[in-house]
Structure 1
Amino acid sequence: MGGVVEACCLQPIDVIKTRLQLDKVGKYHGIVHCGRTVIAEEGVRALWKGLTPFATHLTLKYALRMGSNSVYQSLLRDKDGKLTDLRRAGAGFMAGITEALLIVTPFEVVKIRLQQQKGCEKTGLKYKNPIHCAATIIREEGPFGLWSGATPTMLCLFWAKNHMDSLLWDKHEGDGKMLTPLQSMASGFSAACLGPVATGPFDVIKTRLMAQGKEGGSLRYSGLLDALVKIPREEGIRALYKGLLPRLMRIPPGQAIVWAVSDQITGYVERHGMA
């Protein structure tokens, strides 16, 4: 339910972020101008394009993220049950890869393809809905078309949250200390702010790779490294940070809410298990 609510509230920001990242000619002059232009040209409903795959992917992503991270941490504990920072980072890395490959990438590809389409009248759109979009991609580009941009997606890791807990509140995983919801929100928000700044170029590249189709000839970008070279060469280095502000407006608030709930559940389980 949390993923659905988050998606409904933050979808317009995500649509604006995608449009800014795909804007190669400077059509949009910032968040507000982009939002106004989309509404003026396509109607208010256009700000919620791709809502179904976005909400579904958020819900499944959070469930898989928490579950897989716990499994990997359990596997990496030493014989005394301790988990070093390096092993915790390794668990986060593997959870990030699992999440990116199984959930995030295919749903993001469908969402971005829907978001980049101009207009709301289905008769004039290539992709009619999420299922039709996925089926069209598979038919035209093969099954692996749904995994376009998987490499930069896997580079966006989430394990910084544990370090923020330690830095801000001296909270270490497994110590039985329960953070208050506000503390969890502060840690989640802070960690989520670092992510978009550090991974901004990879997110732009991910969006560009996911948005391109194979119809009409060869692909503009052959892969991660090709896009990393072409984008700054053709559009300037700042193009690698397009959409950064709406990402900062979307990701940290959502992560603050998710971690506030997750930490309360995790803290209860830890305390119950230690009693």
Structure 2
Amino acid sequence: MEQAQNPNDEKPKKTVPIPPYMKSISGSIGGVVEATCLQPIDVIKTRLQLDRSGTYKGILHCGKTIVKTEGVRALWKGLTPFATHLTLKYALRMGSNAVLQTGFKDSETGVISNRGRLISGFGAGVIEALVIVTPFEVVKIKLQQQKGLRPDLLKYKGPVHCARMIIQEEGLLGLWAGAAPTVMRNGTNQAVMFTAKNAFDVLLWKKHEGDGKTLQPWQSMVSGFLAGTAGPVCTGPFDVVKTRLMAQSGSGSDAKYKGMFHAIRTIFAEEGLLALWKGLLPRLMRIPPGQAIMWGVADQVIGFYEKTHLHKAPL
């Protein structure tokens, strides 16, 4: 009787929907924790992606060089925009994904197909890329590429000053440099991540959204870690191109890279195919653990809401 493979057969009752605002809250709390823990890896990833002369010999050498020449605090450069960016990004990502999924849910059971999850995830990734990710990452990368800690020697004195300087020198659209590869990267990442997270929850823990079951933090972290591994490999070239476009100064004829496709061709011609996956290892060191941390926190927030609001009625 329980051999049926149709996911609808596994759910004897309609699942209870979780409000999008709760998804947003859970994501924002998870984003704060993730940013604080993983900022050093993000700084190292950015430095490696911007390194064209072979200054850094690898992740450990890059980290040690930064600490030796700039101090330990340099590993947390750009933390303010990064933490703010992650908090807002996850709030928008989780909330918009929940809203988009409502259009794909079965009216009788509340079940959503994998196709619906993919489309909703991609849509959420596009929205977050255009509204939040691109301008925040432009500022973050400009701050991270600066070497040294003495404020009087730095061009950008902080995130707000950096944003003002970019607008002054490059115009408002300068904050959206690299938007095209960011959209492709985030859309693909979120399409894969939301679908994979749900699949691992069902496969490993028999957990369905809205069923009232709360996973242990370690279970959520396992699912989140596994769901976060595929995206970086698939979207590596988009991430490298995004970083190069955001980091360069000038526009039009003054810019080395004229756009996403021109940047891909140029990097391939000048540095080889593998250069399009520069910084992949630190991305794999950052994104899957980051997803593990975020989901470990977010699932607990959602689980608490389910227990106290959705499944508290007496039987």
If the length of structure 1 is used for normalisation, what is the TM-score? 0.91
Match 1:72 to one of 62, 78, 100: 100
Pairing 1:190–2:219 present: no
Provide, for residues 213-262 of structure 1, a one-character-per-residue CA deviation record: whole Å limited to 9, x for no partner: 10796111111111111112111111111111111222222211211222
* Aligned residue identity for 2:132: I
Report the CA distance between 1:74 and its aligned residue. 1.6
Q: 1:163 to 1:153 in 2, by over 3 A?
A: farther
Q: 1:242 to 1:85 in 2, by over 3 A?
A: same
Pairing 1:20–2:56 present: no
Aligned to 1:145: 174
Aligned to 2:88: 60
- Shifted more, 130-139 versus 248-257: the winner is 248-257
Report the CA distance between 1:21 and its aligned residue. 0.4
Alpha-carbon separation, structure 2, partners of 1:121 and 1:26: 25
Aligned to 1:107: 136
Contact 1:152/1:203 (8 A) holds in 2: yes
Q: Structure 1: which 5+ residue stretches go unaligned?
A: none
SS of 1:226's partner is helix
Count of aligned positions: 275
RMSD value, Cα: 2.1
Alpha-carbon separation, structure 1, partners of 2:79 and 2:198: 30
Q: 1:267 to 1:2 in 2, by over 3 A?
A: closer
Alpha-carbon separation, structure 2, partners of 1:259 and 1:8: 15
Q: 1:269 to 1:40 in 2, by over 3 A?
A: closer
Alpha-carbon separation, structure 2, partners of 1:254 and 1:60: 15
Aligned to 2:113: 84
Provide, for residues 128-164 of structure 1, a one-character-per-residue CA deviation record: whole Å limited to 9, x for no partner: 1100100111111111111112222222322232233
- Shifted more, 263-272 versus 12-21: the winner is 263-272
Map residues 1-275 of structure 1 onto 2, 5 A cutoff: 2-80=30-108, 81-155=110-184, 156=186, 157-158=189-190, 159=194, 160-214=196-250, 218-269=254-305, 272-273=309-310
Q: Structure 2: which 5+ residue stretches go unaligned?
A: 1-28
Contact 1:140/1:215 (8 A) holds in 2: no
- Shifted more, 218-227 versus 2-11: the winner is 2-11
SS of 1:75's partner is coil
Report the CA distance between 1:270 and its aligned residue. 5.0
Contact 2:30/2:298 (8 A) holds in 1: no
If the length of structure 2 is used for normalisation, what is the TM-score? 0.80
Alpha-carbon separation, structure 2, partners of 1:249 and 1:201: 17
- Shifted more, 264-273 versus 98-107: the winner is 264-273
Contact 2:30/2:297 (8 A) holds in 1: no
